[in-house]
Structures are given as C-alpha cells and as structure tokens.
Amino acid sequence: MKHTKLRNQDPHLERERRKYEHPLPSREFILQVLAGEGLKLAPEELARLLGIKASEQDAFERRLQAMERDGQVMRNRKGAICVVSKLDLIPGRVEGHPDGFGFLVPDGEGPDVFLAPRQMHKVLHGDRAMVRITGTDRRGRPEGSVVEVLERGRGRLVGRYYTERGVGFVVAENRRISQDIVVPQGEAANARSGQVVMVDIMEWPSDHNQPIGRVVQVLGEYGDPGMEIEIALRKHDLPHEFPPEVESLAKKIPGQVRKEDCAKREDLRSLPLATIDGETAKDFDDAVFCRSEGKGFRLYVAIADVSHYVRPGDALDREALERGNSVYFPRRVIPMLPEVLSNGLCSINPDVDRLCMACEMEITARGDVAKYRFYPAVMRSHARLTYTEVAAMLDRPDGPEARRRSALLPHIRDLHRLFGLLAKAREKRGAIDFETIETQMIFDEHGKIERILPVKRNDAHRLIEECMLAANVCASDFLQSRGQATLYRIHEGPTPEKLEGLREFLREFGLALGGGDDPHAKDYAKLLTQIRDRPDAQLIQTVMLRSLQQAVYSPENVGHFGLAYESYTHFTSPIRRYPDLLVHRAIKAVLAGGTYSPGDWKALGAHCSMTERRADDATRDVEAWLKCYYMQDKVGEAFTGTVSGVASFGLFVALDDVYVEGLVHVSELGSDYFQFDPAKHMLMGERTRARYRLGDRLRVRVVRVDLESAKIDFVPEDELPATGPRPGGKRGGAPRNPRG
C-alpha cells in the first residue's frame, strides 16, 4: 500500500493514463525517486519502491532501457540504476573526424566534448555515448572519456574491401569512420581487393579490439559508371528502392484521370496553362497562365494535386515521408514518389487531364497580390515549354520559337510584364538577390564529365521563380490567417557572432551594414547595390552570404530573412518535397471547414530539414568525385582561379572556366609561416607579411588528384594581382531550381 501511494504521487500520472491503457510511473517520476533515495538502486529495489506488479515487470524494464538509450539513467558494473546527471556524465552523439579524433555533441546545452583517438577506438561515428569530462585540450575545449555506449549507430556500411598479408578489411567510404572493419576468412562474399562492398558489423569496437564485419553485398569496381552514386546513396542512408508494399500500391493507381476524380472540382481545361522547365525535366509540378486585367493581372498557378493520390498514413505516404524529397544527381534522380506518380499521373504533362490545386491571384499594377483564392481543379497543360524556348520567344517575338507557339505568345508576354512588376515589388521589399554562377555537367557516353558549363539564368527562370514565390506566400497567408498549423520555410538572420564577424570584415573596406543589432534583408540588399560595381564585389558578397543561417522547415513562423517575407511556406512542389504535400493537405482541410494534424509538426520540420541536408551532402559528394575524375588527366596543367575559401591549413581555389575547386596547402605558400585571421578571411605571413585573402586571384598548377578522398591539390604557379574575383560566384552543383 505504501508503494502504491508513492506511485500515486507521480505528477505526470494523468498524462500517462491518457497515453497508455496500463500506465507506468513516468520517466520524470522515476528520476525523482532515484534522486530522492540518493543511492544507486538495483532494478528490483526500484521496482519495489514504485509498486511495480509482476505483470508490469517487462514493460517497466523496457522503460528503463529506453531511459538508458536516452542517457537519463545508466547501470553500473553491478547492474544498479544511476541517475546520469548525478554522475556528471554527458550523453550525446559521437561525430568522428577523418584524422582519428572526434567529438561528443551533447543532447542538451553545452559545448562539444573533444574525444582523443584513444577514446574513439571504443566507438564509431553515429554512436550515442556517455562521456565524463576529464580536462581540456590544448585549444581550451572540454575533453572527455567514453564511459558507456548508449546506442550503436549504423550496423551496415559501404566501403572498399582490401586484403593485406592475408587479412581482409573494409575501409568505410564515410571518412568520419576512421577505423577499418576487419573481415574474417569466409566472410568476404568473394569480394576482390579494391571492390566496393556493403559490410554488416558483427562485433563493435572496444578498448582493445577493432570492429569486425561480414561482407553482405559486392557492388562492383570503384571506377564503374554510376558507382559514385551507388556509394553516395548508401553512405548517406538515402532510401533508393521502393518497398514491395509501395510498389504494390503504386500498381493500383490508374493510368489516367477518371471522371469521378473530377467531381466537385473547377474545370480549368480550357485555360491555356503551360509548364516552363529545363530541357531535361521529367516531373512537372506546376503550370502557369497570366492575362492582363486593366492595369493589373490575373495569375493562375496550378500545382499537381499529389494529395489526391497519396493519402495520410498509407504506404506511399510513409515512404515519401522517409525520403523527404527527391534527390537530383547528375544524370539520375531518386524520386520521392514512384515514377507512375512522379513522371506519370501527378506530372503535368502536355495535352492530358490532370488534377491540380489552383492558386488564382489578382495582382495590382504595383505588384501586390490584392486577392487570392485556392481551390481543387482539373486542368490540361497546353504546352511543355523550356526556359530556353520562352527566353527566345521574349527576345525575338517574330522568331521561329514565337511563330511556332503563336497562340501562347500573348500570354507569355503578359507573364513577362507581370514579372517586371513582381521584380520591382521584390526590390522594394528589400529581398536579397545574390548573384551566383551555377554550372551543368556534360557527360560522355561512358558517364564521365566531358565538360562543365556555366548555366545562365534568363528572364524565363526569373518569371517562374516570381510566380512560385507569389503562390507560396499566398499559401502561407491562407493557413496562418485561418489558424491552421503548418510547416513554414523559415530563414533566420545572422547570429550575433556572425554579424559581428561580418561588420569587422566590412570595416576593412570602409563599408558598413545598416540595421544595428537587428539588420533586415533591406540592409543587406542596400549594401549589395552599393558594392555592385566594385572590383571586390564578389568577395564582399561571398562574406555577406556566409553570415546568414541555413533555411529550414519549422511550425514556428519567424519569417524568411533572405526573401524579406514575414510568412512563407512551400506549396509549389509536392511531387518532390514532402513539406509541400503537407501544405496541400492543410489547405484542403481548411477549405472543407476542418483542420489537419499529421502529428508532431516540430518533429516533421526537423525531419524534412534533415532529409534536405542529406540530399545536399550526397549530391555534393557525387559532384566532387566526378570533378576529380574529370581532372585526373589534367595533373601538371596550370589554371587561373579565385580564392573561394580560406582556412588555417590553406586556400581553396575555384578555377576559371572549368569550375572545379581544389586546395593550396599552407605549406606550399613559400618558406614563411602563415597566421589565419578568420574575421578577415585571410592568411598572413609572419615574416613577409604576404597576404592571401578570399577573392584573390591566383594561378595554380594541378599536382595531385585523389579519387579516394575526392580532393584536388594545387600549388601556386605564380601570383596574380589581387584584383578581385571574376564576375559570378558559387561554383559547382546543378542549376538552381527557380521554384525554390
């Protein structure tokens, strides 16, 4: 009875009763009881104290195990339960470094804890562990020792299999895993030395033993066409094969829009909507149409109605959530949805009926959206246009492209006039417009880069971008004004530390950023206009860009700093982005007089932000490897380039014309020792006072191309006057998608 009374004192008892049919003591109360006893308790004694019945023992043990995994409690060598916070232990996730050391990133607040190579022998990158602070390292960072591994990370890795003196081992492709995985005899699956394999870890590392694994799949030779993508998919845990239940559900989807699907939808099939995309696009999310009305315009943005086919909680939805987004590699796409939807029934292909969600906007002569309306509709694309084609129609209204599309030309010209108004409104709003150079890889028949070309954005790209921005803002306003929770696309301004670093840098140039401690996008835009004609404009722009934070998804609306919007969300690409699909469902729910709740909005935002970063990391890996392969036969050649990054260990130089980046190590900069000044993005010689700065122009020679690490090394050929970088900026990657 005494113990039952104690259990009834749980302050979270009602919450547990709501969640579970047979509620257990809450985690908070278990920690409270342990702390109150002031002792390390055996599990049996803790169960007795809390009045745990025999029928509850298994469930109680599972709760304790979950608390262990989350670093709230741990068991000592005798098996007693201890409160971690009482032991001054820090739980967190291990992040390895290619050089053998690592860090523990704490679950809560506090700095990362340095883990020396000896400590990293016990763990692998991605593990969750408990560490005890043992002192500080030579840089003043807290240093720790691993007390316990709470949870192991990935048990399956991609790497290259090697044999040496009869011993097999796998070197992980993820360089953060610096330990080799030993492969015993008979466990190599007939892999040959140098081949790319998948390996399952059978025994995890410890103080004195390396990890031991078994090869479960041989992917092929390292230089095989497309192998770089196969590696990236597995290295970054990208889902790339649809499970059987998803394939089965996809097969049940009809090949065309049925008559019953069009019920209760507005009919836009007579409206000359058209898609405008790149030449290689296959999944068409959006179509547009514009006509002038008095001094203003009426703009229709029709977006594929993915939510009609992908229902909450079904196999398609679960897999789309897991993927989070489509991933666009050079020459290959990993779609969020099966192709029967992404390239078929959902894709707004020309001359076929398609279901859509329409955003119809009335836009004034000042470029403001006066009214808007969302509704489900059925449409028919009247043309599949490309950016190149539309640009040609606008440049030469009497040219061959314009004559071929003569019926659409008036609408395209209306779109272009509307774009002019929206662009002026954007400028007035103060949105930041960084000038960048995007590139496109051209491949030969063997799947290797033949050349790398700059992609020039024209007015066709820009007008589509403005149309999509307008629809996204309307979607955000629609949901916010009706109290419907959603995922916003948020972009916060600079942190105080980055802002101070930027201001210090600008002072060197006699420049200042307005806005005091809380600058707005207008302040950035004003400074960009001010420096536009300077020879060092690209240098200054690069530092300004790096001062900003990364855009993410969140239910907390803090606005979009870069676009200068108080409220912004993603609505226009539900085929390739899961957040857009959620926004569609929320809009439909509001139109039907209800609300939509997919669960924990905050967790969904964090997950979708993670999948976006994961895709970016994977595509960056592939592009880096392909560029290394491209540069293999250029060792010994000299190129001119721009310093695109400065670090304590050297200079990153982006080459003109070939758009490839490599490193000039600090040891190659002459006989002097160089000091790194992060605020000024500069290396300065101690004796010679020679300076190497972001944006400087250098002539370099290629001395080494390492496919294994996807790194290129340069040495200075001779120095060029630091006249500022070439026009343009960001190099590498696929052309920017104007749909955001």
User: Does residue 169 have a pLDDT over 60?
Assistant: yes
- Encode pLDDT of 185-205 as tens digits: 999 999 999 999 999 999 999
- Encode pLDDT of 413-431 as tens digits: 999 999 999 999 998 998 8
Is 471 a member of any domain? Answer: yes
Based on the domain organization, do 249 and 355 belong to the same domain? yes
- Encode pLDDT of 284-309 as tens digits: 999 999 999 999 999 999 999 999 99
Based on the domain organization, do 189 and 71 belong to the same domain? no
* Domain count along the chain: 5
Confidence of residue 77 (pLDDT cuts 50, 70, 90): low
Based on the domain organization, do 69 and 92 belong to the same domain? no
- Encode pLDDT of 506-563 as tens digits: 988 889 999 888 899 999 999 998 988 888 888 888 888 888 999 999 999 999 999 9
Is 489 a member of any domain? Answer: no
- The residue out of 151, 184, 200 marking a domain boundary is 151
Is 590 a member of any domain? Answer: no
pLDDT at 39: 66
Is 580 a member of any domain? Answer: no
Based on the domain organization, do 144 and 287 belong to the same domain? no
CATH label of the domain that carries residue 92: 2.40.50.140
CATH label of the domain that carries residue 192: 2.40.50.700
Mean pLDDT to the nearest integer, 683-699:
91
Based on the domain organization, do 341 and 463 belong to the same domain? yes
Is the separation of the CB atoms in 225 and 602 below 8 Å? no
Domain that holds residue 336: 244-433+447-482
Whole-structure pTM value? 0.84
Higher pLDDT, 223 or 484: 484
Report the percentage of the chain scoring pLDDT > 70. Answer: 96
Of 186, 181, 389, 196, whose CA–CA distance to 278 is shortest? 389
Based on the domain organization, do 639 and 715 belong to the same domain? yes
Based on the domain organization, do 140 and 181 belong to the same domain? no
- The residue out of 30, 53, 85 marking a domain boundary is 85
Is 170 a member of any domain? Answer: yes
pLDDT at 74: 79
pLDDT at 718: 66
339-344 LR contacts (CB < 8 Å, sep 24+): 340/250, 340/251, 340/253, 341/250, 341/253, 341/306, 341/309, 341/310, 341/316, 341/575, 342/282, 342/283, 342/575, 342/576, 343/282, 343/283, 344/255
Is 277 a member of any domain? Answer: yes
Bridge partners, 142 (sequence order):
136
Report the percentage of the chain scoring pLDDT > 90. Answer: 64
Based on the domain organization, do 298 and 380 belong to the same domain? yes
- The residue out of 85, 102, 124 marking a domain boundary is 85
Based on the domain organization, do 294 and 417 belong to the same domain? yes
Is 456 a member of any domain? Answer: yes
pLDDT at 231: 96
Total length of the chain? 740
Is 285 a member of any domain? Answer: yes
Distance CA 649, CA 666 (A): 5
